Structure 1
Amino acid sequence: MPSHRGSLLRRQLLRRRLRDDDGSAVAEFPMVAVLIIMIGLMIVQAALIVHTRNTLVDAAVQGAHHAALIGSSPQDGAERAERLIGDRFGAGLDAEATAVQEPDGTIRVTVSSTLPLVGLLGPTGSMTVEGRAIAEESW
């Protein structure tokens, strides 16, 4: 009988130890912290890409409006867009603007750029945005 009672006590002690969560915080914290940091960096990366896109669209529209003025050429609009991008981002963003005048009198400025990164990892590739304006001469 004493061996049966001893094995019962050992099983109860084992169950209690398995249910006990002492020390689990030490293992859980690094796993949760890595996930939270990754989610935070992804949010910052997405916000940076959206901000960059909006700024490039604004530069393209401003370039198109400049090119649409009487006495300006589409090339003037592309140069204006590149100057605005350089003023806002510096040389770190590899952006290039081109402008064409379509047969209907619309000036289209297209800006192509690489995606900005937060840190070393992130999406690779490029984005292209356009701005349009109606040339004053075609009114």
Structure 2
Amino acid sequence: MGLSTQARGRGVALRPRLRDDDGAAVAEFPLVSVLIILIALAVIQAALILHTRNTLIDAAVQGAHHAALVGSTPDAGAARAEALIVDRFGESLGAEAVADVDEDGTVRVRIEATLPLVGLLGPAAGLQVEGRAIDEATW
């Protein structure tokens, strides 16, 4: 029992339409654009985190160098580091700096801050960096 001539005619006419890719771009564009946007947001997020980390490290080192000067205190170095962070980022990071001097004369400034997020997805952890300098009074 074969197909009727009319049914065969419809099947033959349907094959070129199934192989034709008209309208495929309409379906592909949303799929590809979502992936491109996600990759772009991930790159922006990574760049923002690296910039924040590098700026916090610089503030910690500058604070440690300030605290290591003759006549300065570790608290002055921590205050200098926090002032640099507020100048650069404002109060949005909630950064706190703590400074102390080791028994070998090394001044350490530790900064803890929250990571900035571009979107809702991303790390929810904090960032901790440290800067060190040798106290000039121990030379």
Establish whether residue 35 from structure 1 lines up as the match of residue 24 from structure 2.
Answer: no
Aligned to 2:117: 117
Number of aligned residue pairs: give it: 138
Structure 2 counterparts to residues 21-100 of structure 1, below 5 A: 21-100=21-100
The CA RMSD measured in Å over matched residues stands at 1.6
Secondary structure of the 1:109 match is strand
Q: Which runs of 5+ in 1 are unaligned?
A: none
Superposition deviation, residue 13 in structure 1: 2.5
Superposition deviation, residue 39 in structure 1: 0.8
Superposition deviation, residue 38 in structure 1: 1.0
Superposition deviation, residue 123 in structure 1: 1.6
Q: Given residue 57 of structure 1, which amino acid in structure 2 is its aligned partner?
A: I
Q: Given residue 80 of structure 1, which amino acid in structure 2 is its aligned partner?
A: R
Aligned to 2:14: 14
Q: Given residue 99 of structure 1, which amino acid in structure 2 is its aligned partner?
A: A
Secondary structure of the 1:21 match is coil
Superposition deviation, residue 37 in structure 1: 0.9
Q: Which runs of 5+ in 2 are unaligned?
A: none
Superposition deviation, residue 120 in structure 1: 3.1
Q: Percent identity?
A: 64
Secondary structure of the 2:107 match is strand
TM-score using structure 1 length: 0.92
Q: Given residue 74 of structure 2, which amino acid in structure 1 is its aligned partner?
A: P
Q: Given residue 101 of structure 1, which amino acid in structure 2 is its aligned partner?
A: V
